[in-house]
Every structure is written in structure tokens, then in C-alpha cells.
Structure 1
């Protein structure tokens, strides 16, 4: 403190830089602390916490993820389109542009034709009473009169012997078969370039029965496209952010922020370091990553169980990114299902016939149309490479009827309208059966 005399009186005061009671003691003035800087607001969508094919929208300090239009699933792990393969659609629809649609809408059929879908593939056919190339145009079949004009020679192309996706041309009374435009192979085994994407290279996808680049015209501005397992994935270029399917903009450098104070708890899972198809759980200050349910692998490379049928066992098919049995709901009534190369194959039960996909009906018993049979010829039915030998007396005119009934059964058949009831054993598939009379001659057929 310092003292000054004013009007004969001593006046005490603290020196500069000091404060307090000058009569007892002054203390230094503490240095003033500047106000803390204002922290810039944090963008919860940078970096984006969303998965593939999802977009982040900020609401205050919280970011929410939603799937893009026409995509489904968990936006935080990854959204997927309605379909990737034709097998994910019904048999009467095909996967076009990642949506299950009627392939006949885009089929290039000509005039006077109709389009039918068989196993996801459109096929053009001329209408009844018309003929020609269904991919170009069909014309009305001319009506011939029965006057003095000689009947036209039979058309070897009606009905066509060429098979599916092929055309028939009459060349001097003989059919000449060729594959239709855009199809490969040779009749009767013409087929399109592809039916499903698994028939194309890994960087191509099957669209309109052609192996094409699925990235063409898919991604937005400043975005790049990469094809993985026939599926196009759009992503913003480096240092860009936004919706890769619409537009990506240059990412602004955020303002520097102060380091968090020791008392503030930092969530190690924001943003998530685990990668797509995974989940993050904080353990004190350490993130613990694990794959989501129904996903396999290890973060950050978690993946679905399958994306194409080839990644499943031969008796399973890839449905909804899971290897499942394709048989449930595939076959009709009185039919059983077997899976061959990931595809369900339906067959009518023993003793039934019809369309196994719609429903099978019981085969009616064969009723003889002739009177009592006379047993005047003896035949021996012997099956090579089996232990079955059947002896029977039969009228030769009924031989063809007997063969048909044998070929329609899988195990045994009882023929009651012959001379007596005989049990006939069918050999294993692919074996030869020989039928010969005692006298001479032989007939060979396969069962």
C-alpha cells in the first residue's frame, strides 16, 4: 500500500495491480481469464453414419438415416433393392432395374403376336391363325378353297420342330431351323445370352437377356460406380459427400474445435469404425465391433450369407440373401419337389399325371375295350442287369398297351385284364428290357 497526506490526514491506497484493504494489506489482482471460444456446431452427418444406399438427414445435433427410394432394409447397416436376381421374383416376372416387373412390357414383339413369360423370360408367339416371325410381324394365314386347286403340300414348319427361341423356314418341303435374333446356340437348344446375372461375368448384370454394364446412367454427379457380384454400388468420390445417386458436393473443411475436456465422455462408436453390415458397442473407451444378425465374416468385411445361387449348396437357393430350400410352395397338389442346381423341379407323385406346378390328377385305371382274350402267344419279358424275370402269356395285339403301362410306373403295376394277374418289375433307370417271343423276332425298348 502507499500513503498520501490530504488536508493533514494520511490516506492509504493499494498500489497499481493490487487490491484489498490498504490498512491491513493488499494482494495482487488475479489475471482475468478470456471467455471460452464458441464451439462451432457439429454436423451429425459428417462423416455419414449410414450404410450403403442410405442418406443422412440432420435434425439439430442428431442425424437420422433413411433408405433411398425403392430400397429396403436397415439404413444404418445397408439398404438393398427389391431384387438383384430373377430368382427373387415370381416366375411370371423378371428383375429389371432392380425391380420385379413384367418382362413382356419391354419385349420387342411384332404385330399380331402375344407375349408369354416362362421362368422369368419373355417369349413372342404369333396369334392363332397367323404365321411369320413373331419378333418382326405375323401375317394372317391365307384361307385355301377346296375348288379345282390342288391341295397345298403340308408345311413342315407347322407345328414347328425347332424348339423355343428358334424360327423355322420351309426349304423344299424340309424344315430349316435357326435361332432367333439375339439368341445363341443351335435348335432346338437356342437360348438367350443370359437368364440370370450369374450367367454373366462378375462386372456385368443380366438385363433384357443381355449381359450389360449395370453402371451406365446409374450414379449422380461426382460419383463413381463399382460392380460387385453383378450389383452396382454408387459412392461419392474422395473429399465429396452427398447422395451418390443424385449429386455429390465437395466436402467443406470443418472449423477447428477445442479438444474435449477430461470430464466429457466420448462415444468411441460415433462415427462407427466397424464398416457396413456390422454393429458397434462401446466398452469404456474402446469400440467392440460385431456382424449383424444373418451376416457372416468379421468387421469391417461383414457380408450376407449369399448374393447369388452359386454361393449356396446345390440343394439350396439364394433368397433374401439367405440360402434356403426353394421347394416350399413351388409344386402343386399331389406332386413332390427335388432341387437340381438351385432350382426346384416338380414331378407328379406315383400314379398321378398333369402339370406338377399347378396340380396332378390320378391316372385312371386302364379298362380293356375288347372281349375275353385268348392266350395264343407266349412272350418272355426279361430285364438285363437286374434279378427280375417275368413270364406271361399275352395276346400280341395288346403288347403296345402293356409297354405303355410299364413305362408309366415307377415300381410295379398289376395288369388285371390280361390272362392272369402278373406283377411286372421295372428295372433301374437306364437299363434295357428285351421282349421276345418264343419263336423269333425281338423288340428292344428303354425304361
Structure 2
């Protein structure tokens, strides 16, 4: 029945094509507007063409009939409206004018094993069928999706790892309990501050440790549903707990405090303003003199505000927080040297006769002893080159300001040698004068 309908459709198409003079290689056309038609060839390719050129092409074609060579192998030929029409046999694909090749399969039964026939090919029915992380198993060419062990979810969409904590949501335990998964099994335990019921079944819930003092020991009280030491909560601020009697704390105020020990004990002072001038500092609730016990033996203590400042008397020295002793001359330079770096300190006197440290640079050093002394370049001429001498601990020429006016200076063996130049005479240490004509003549005569 299906083949008959298909044949009738082809006849109708060819009849319409014949009325327009359609070429035999074309299978279908339809008007598009603006004197154009859409033409589809035997390979399913479509394109636009003007009606005039389409009719011209149609009239140039010759009517064809079916022969043994009209269509290719595995293709059938029909004559519809005086035109030959070729098509591949069922289960075949390709160009019917050249050759049609049989597809790999038509039915699942033609495929081996668990493969399925899809679009003429035997394929794995599981390929791309199941969701992420899912397993697929083909059963009679039908894909069956499932989540693997340790996973859960919709296998057709996505599988996710199973979280054992899900066993506790919702919790199978009773009120005031905590659910925890252990070895894949939910386990119940009481929350902090709660205990098992007398039956001992945690699944039924947990209760408070106590509801009244009678449920606690003789030296404990039921506080916030727990058996606790009543001294921790029943005594007032700053109060002390002496003992416990009949689940109750016996409280008292500490020394120098006053008030209701079950409510609050007040200290001697809350701030410095509460203290007298003789004890001006409020220290841990007690008025005290900050100088008491702060300074060393023989030291003076003065308050700057409320800060104790310790110092030794003017005629004494030492550590004011340990001991002060009478001043000695050696104390001018010890234990801290008041002079500059590398300088030497000796006890001495100033111009008025008062004792003071005297700073000097040691031998071979130079500089300001009050600031710093530096080791000199040399201490004797032998430390310098032959053309220099050791002057002020530095190797330098000894000619500076040594010879007279117009005299020459030459250094040999670290000594400045002064001579008058040619044409000059005189004392080279003082001054050299140009020679007169007579002196020159006498010199030549000689």
C-alpha cells in the first residue's frame, strides 16, 4: 500500500513537470514568485531558476524510457509522464543513476551481538544514550541506563556520588541528639549537656542532666540543667566562696572589699580620684603610694603624675633601682665611656677645678676625641714611600712650606731638599735671587 502511494505521488509530480517542460534529470519544482521556480534534482539539491530559462531547458530535453542502462545497479526505473525516473531499492543508498549500495542493515536482527540498526548502520545503542557518570548495558539492542555502585540519581540525565551524610537527613534519631554516619550506618548520640533517657535508647531522644538540685550530689547544684559547682554562679561580683552547704554556696567579700557577697563586693577604690594624696594611686582596688618598694637602696623616688621616677642623689652614683653609693673619680669614665669612638677616657679636672672626664686619642690615632678617633695612615716615615714623609699620621710630601721663594724642593729619603734653580743664587731655605751680570761673568771666568 505504501509503495502504491509513493508511485502515485511520483506520477503526479512528473505530470506537473511535463506541463512546464521539465527536464528529465529534475524531480520536483515549485513556483517561488517574481517568475522564479525552486528546482530540486535527484540528489536533493535545490536552487532558484527563472521560469523562462527553466522552460527553455525543458524543451531541449528528449523524452526518456526505461532500459537496462537507464538507471544504475540496485536502482529501479519508472516511466512517469513519458519521463524516466530512477530510485534506489529499499535499504540501498547512493546515486541511482550511477550505483546504489546496500546499507549495513535494515533491522536490529541483522546486527551482531547487542548492536542496534540505526539509519542503516549497526551501532552500539548505548553510545550517548545515558547521563553523566551512568552505566549503560544493551539488552536485546535496547540501552538500559543505571547508576554505578556508590552513585545515585537519574541515570538517563546524570549520576552523582552518594553522600553517606544523606542517611542523617532527615535524622532517624530522637530529640536533642546528633546523627553521624559511621561505616555507612547512621549513629545517634546526645548533644552536649544532654544525656540518655533512663531507658538508655538514644533513638528515643535525650534529656537534660538535671531538673532540680536533688538530682545532683551534695556539693553541687542544678544550674542551667547541669550539675555544677554553685560557687561558680551563686556568689556576687568580686566575692569569694567559702564552702557549700545544702547545694548552696556560702560567699564572703575579700579583704578591703564590702557589700553583699551574693550580689557584689566593692573594692576600696575604682579609680585614682577615690584615693587620698598620701596614697594617690588606685592599684587593683587598693589605694597605694607608687613609690613604695620601687627604688633601690639609697635612691630617691619622685612621682611624675602617678609614675615613680628613681634617681641617685647628686653626690652618689649607681643603679637607682638596685643601690646608690658615694661618687668616685673612676665613675667619670665607667661603666660607660663618655668619649668618642676609639677615644681614651681619664678622670681629670676642668679649669674651675671640678672633676670631669678627659678624652684623648691614643697613639697612632687622630680625630676629635669627643666624637671619634681614627687610626692614622702612618706613625713614622718608614711607613711611607721614599718621596713622602709621615706628617700628622698621613703620608704626604714634606716640601709643603719648607723651601724659600723661587727655590726648588726635592724629596729624598723622606727629607725635603731645597736648592736654587739655574740662574739663581741665595739661601734656598729663605729666598733665591736672580744672579747679576757680574756674578755671571765671574762665574764664567772661574
TM-score scaled by structure 2?
0.21
Of the two structures, which has the highest relative contact order with CA contacts closer than 8 Å and spacing of 6 or more? 1
Greater CA radius of gyration, 1 or 2? Answer: 2
Q: TM-score of the superposition, structure 1-length normalised? A: 0.21
Structure (1 or 2) with the greater helix fraction = 2
